[in-house]
Amino acid sequence: MYLESLYTEIAREYRIPQMETRTLLERTLSATLSESFGKRVVVFFSGYDLLIFRERSKDGSADLEQLPTGRLSRKLLRLCRYRVGTELQKRKSLVELDYLKTLQGTIVRGTTDRVRDNGSLIVLIRMDELFRRREVSGICPLKLQPQRERGRYCIGDAWYFYVTRVSLICLAGRERLCRVDVILSRTSRLLPELLLKMKSGSGDISCPRRIAGKISFVSSKQRLPREAIQAVSKELGERVKVRWES
C-alpha cells in the first residue's frame, strides 16, 4: 500500500486529522530510531516514499546519510510498530476524551447493556453525528443508583442518567491500554432539574434537594405543565414536589 494511502487510512481509523497523523508518525519513528541507533535520526514521508536520514557521527555535525528501510532489522521494525501503535492509541483516547467531554453535566438516555457482579450498570448511549450514529458505553456505579432501583435493572431497559464525569483512565504498566470513562448517575439532584427543563421547556427551574427514589424538591419561577411533572416523577419513581416562586 502506498504510504500516502496508509496514513490517510490511519487518520480515518483513529479519527485524527490527516496532517496530524503524518506528523505523529514521523515524530514517533524519528524518536524510536534515534534511541535505537544512539544518533539523531530524521524520518519523513515524501510522496510514496519513507525517507530515513541518520547522522554519520555523534559529534553533532550536520552530515547525514540516507538509510535504506531494508537495513532495519525485524526486531527494530517490531519496536517501531509497537511505538507507533502506542502513540496512536494515546492520541485516539485524547480525541475521544475531547469529544465525550461535551456530555459532562448533561442528561442522556441510555439502554442497560449488562450488570456487573459489583452491581454497576454498563449503559449504551446512542449519539447522532453528522453522517452516522455511534454508541458510547457509560458506567453507573452502584453507589449512584437509588436504593430502590438496585437489582431491578433489566437488559434493554432505557433510562435517563446525569453525566457526572468524563475522564481518561490509563492502566498502570499498560501504556497502550487507555480508556475514556463516562460516569453516570441516577441519584444526582441535577437529574430531575434537567429533566423538568427538557420536558417543560422552562429554564427557571432548580432542584436544591433530593432524596433519590423518594422525593425531589423543585423550585420554579413559572407554572410547569402537570404532564411534565408527572413524566419526570414516573421516570424517577419518586414524588416531585414543585414550589412556585414569583
Delimit the domains of the chain by residue range: 3-95, 104-185, 190-244
174 pLDDT higher than 70:
no
Q: What is the mean pLDDT of residues 53-59?
A: 76
Helix, strand or coil, per DSSP, at residue 29: helix
pLDDT of the residue at 92: 82
pTM: 0.77
182-206 mean pLDDT:
95
Whether the per-residue pLDDT at 86 is higher than 90: the answer is no
Beta strands in 77-236 (DSSP E): 107-115, 121-128, 133-140, 158-170, 178-185, 205-211, 215-220
Instruction: Encode pLDDT of 19-34 as tens digits.
Output: 888 888 899 999 999 9
Whether the CB-CB separation of 181 and 139 falls below 8 Å is answered with yes
Q: What is the mean pLDDT of residues 199-226?
A: 94
Same fold, 3-95 and 190-244: no
Residue 145 has pLDDT above 90, yes or no: yes
**Please, which residues have CB within 8 angstroms of residue 131's CB and are 6 or more apart in sequence?**
none
Segment 33-43, tens digit of pLDDT = 999 988 889 99
Q: In this predicted structure, what is the pLDDT of residue 1?
A: 46
Residue 60: what pLDDT? 55
Please state the CATH superfamily assignment of the domain spanning residues 190-244 in this structure.
K homology (KH) domain (3.30.300.20)
Q: Architecture of domain 104-185 in CATH?
A: Beta Barrel (2.40)
CATH topology of domain 3-95: N Utilization Substance Protein A; Chain:P; domain 4 (3.30.1480)
Residues 6+ apart with CB under 8 A from 183: 138, 139, 140, 141, 144, 163, 164, 165, 166, 167
- What pLDDT band is residue 61 in, cutting at 50, 70 and 90? low
How sure is the predictor about 45, in pLDDT bands with cuts at 50, 70 and 90?
Answer: confident
